[in-house]
A and B are shown apart, each in its own frame.
Chain A
Amino acid sequence: MENKPCIEFKNITLGYKKTGETISILKNINLSFFEGDLIGIVGLNGVGKSTLIKSLSGLLPVLKGEILIDEKPISNYNLNELAKKIAIVLTEKIGGFNLTAFDVVSAGQMPYTNSFNKLSSHNLEIIDAAISTCGIAEHQNKLLYELSDGLFQKTIIAKALAQQTPIMLLDEPSAFLDFASKHELFLLLKKLTEEQKKCVLVSSHDLDLILKYCTKLLVISTTKVELISSSEAKTNATFKEIGGRFI
């Protein structure tokens, strides 16, 4: 285990503002995540998994407290610096405008290019490496809407890889995938944490997969947030409460 956490939650409260009203979902959390961790975020619908991911990626401001990325508050990063620290994979569909899988992956290198977005041979090497790690080399010139859900998901993950970030956040990446693709996806994430020492947080409703592949679980219920190791999950009360009792 590394001694310094790459992500640290310092007494944070997460939520969002809706028509002047503040809705807080997760309150006063203190947590640390380290390089090489593959953390499964589990919890029932609406409990705040997506809010957590959006706050952690800087897309939503935290209501209280501070998130530290490599010991520096997230609010002190400018967008381009943050883009080199955290990469996200969301559920939203993108496509059209002649966008190919390659184009999306190369967007991951945008924080490293000049203002004309010209890709150098170095940029291209990184993009190619990301493409081959995710196993989408023969599909890279396909338009996005020609890709199956599994390939699309791998493309977005390759984009996140091309960002060369120590941290990767994925919001329900397994939601629309078939059985085999789900396993391939988690195997890929496992490989990234083991070989590239990334810190990967992935939310999912596939509790069996999370148990099988993740090293740690972030269990979120309406009353509690707990970070546990996957080996102790089956005896954990909160994990049982959010559906673990059916496994």
Chain B
Amino acid sequence: MQENTGIKFLVLIILLFIAGYLSLFFAGSESITVSELSLNNFIFWQIRFPKTLTAILAGSTLSAAGLILQIIFRNPLAGPYVLGISSGASLMVSLSILAGGSLNLLSNFFIGKSFIVVSAIAGSVLVTTLILAISKKVNSSVILLLIGLMISQICGALQIGLEYFSDATSLKSFVTWGMGSLANTTNFDLLIFLPIALISLLALLFFIKPLNALLLGENYSQNIGVNFNSSRFYLIFISSVLTGLTTAFCGPIAFVGIAVPILSRMIFKSSKQQLHLASCILLGSIILLFSDTLANTLIKNISLPINMLTTFIGAPLVIYLMFKNKSW
């Protein structure tokens, strides 16, 4: 069993390199060969590189957030997108772009971006807390999913309302960003995106015990020495930072957060959450990198929305799980 785990991780790491290579050199209107690569290759350094790194960051953060949410809710059908948390973050991003524009906050790059990121995180925290409060009243994971869907619809409706009040340029950025995209992140954005994502993911190393204990529920985790309420509070905060951060830069990315932890549990028949954390980071990156490559190569000269690909991977998995009344 131990040997298998090692081999599986090795395969994932190799896949990550392949997916990264494909995304860097082929995911666009023209392919670049390694021999042509130079320091002043504009397409490579200004377009492909930030997009590939963004795919890795978005895949890691959303999958880790999904894993945390599934543990907190003890529900394998939880995830930042399906519970409406991404929508809450999106709505706050739109609000902050509008408010930031009128308050003249956005003229400075770092202040503007930070303002948007903090708003997105606040949106995630709000929706997660709301869903958690509701989850105490319902004990069915499917009903929780429906409530998440409704919250996401409400946020969407508010977002449409906001778009009416925005001018043409911000409207266009709202719409393209609202569809979810890995291509809007610049190298400058990455200066904010990368460190916060890394710190949040590393912070999870301090929560290995709680992540494992919380699966046993409130009473048993307290009884084996893990403070349930405070661990849950910090974990909700970290998952909200991970979701809000990625949503601020990429918009809502569908189904990665719910599907990757499920896949991870299917591949590694383990309940060790430290193992799943590592594999979710790898798997999430691989899936978004492949999705990005496919989105840019399936139809020549056309770049498909990334959410189209991730939905095709994620949604069938969720349906399969609902039929198979067995919790992964």
- Bound form: Cα–Cα A84–B223 in Å: 9
- Inside 8 A of A145's CB, which chain B residues have their CB? 326-327
- Does B76 lie at the interface of the complex (its beta carbon under 8 Å from any beta carbon of A)? yes
Contact in complex: A117, B216 (CB < 8 Å): no
Contacts known (A79-B225, A83-B224, A96-B76); A116 close to B274, Cβ less than 8 A: yes
Please tell me which one of the listed residues A86, A94, A97, A103 contacts residue B223 in the complex, with CB atoms under 8 A apart. Answer: A86
Residues of chain B within 8 A of A96, CB atoms compared? 74, 76, 215, 327-328
CA of A82 to CA of B226, assembled, Å: 11
Q: How far is the CB of A11 from chain B (nearest CB, A)?
A: 25
Whether B271 contacts A103 by the Cβ 8 Å rule is yes
Q: Does A121 contact B (CB under 8 A)?
A: no
Known A97-B265, A98-B269, A115-B206: A92·B225 in contact at CB below 8 Å = no
Nearest CB in chain B to that of A110: its residue: B224
**For the side of the interface on B, what is the size category?**
20 to 34
| Given contacts A80-B225, A111-B225, A94 and B209 within 8 Å (CB-CB) | no
Q: How large is the interface on A (under 10, 10 to 19, 20 to 34, 35 or more residues)?
A: 20 to 34
Greatest chain A CB density within 10 A among B208, B219, B220 is at B220
Q: Does the CB pair A59–B213 fall under 8 Å?
A: no
- In the complex, the chain A residue whose C-beta lies closest to that of B141 is A96
Cβ of B176 under 8 Å from chain A: no
In the assembled complex, how far is the CB of residue A94 from the closest CB belonging to chain B, in whole angstroms?
5
Nearest A residue (CB) for B207: A115
Interface code B222-235, partner A: CB below 8 Å = 1, 0 otherwise?
11111100000000
CB distance from A77 to the nearest CB of B (A): 10
Evaluate contact between A83 and B265: CB separation under 8 angstroms: no
A59 near B224: Cβ-Cβ < 8 Å = no
Q: A80-B225, A115-B208, A117-B209 are in contact. Are A98 and B271 (CB under 8 A)?
A: yes
Spell out B's residues near A (CB within 8 Å). 70-71, 74, 76, 205-206, 208-209, 212-213, 215-217, 219-220, 222-227, 265, 268-271, 274, 326-328
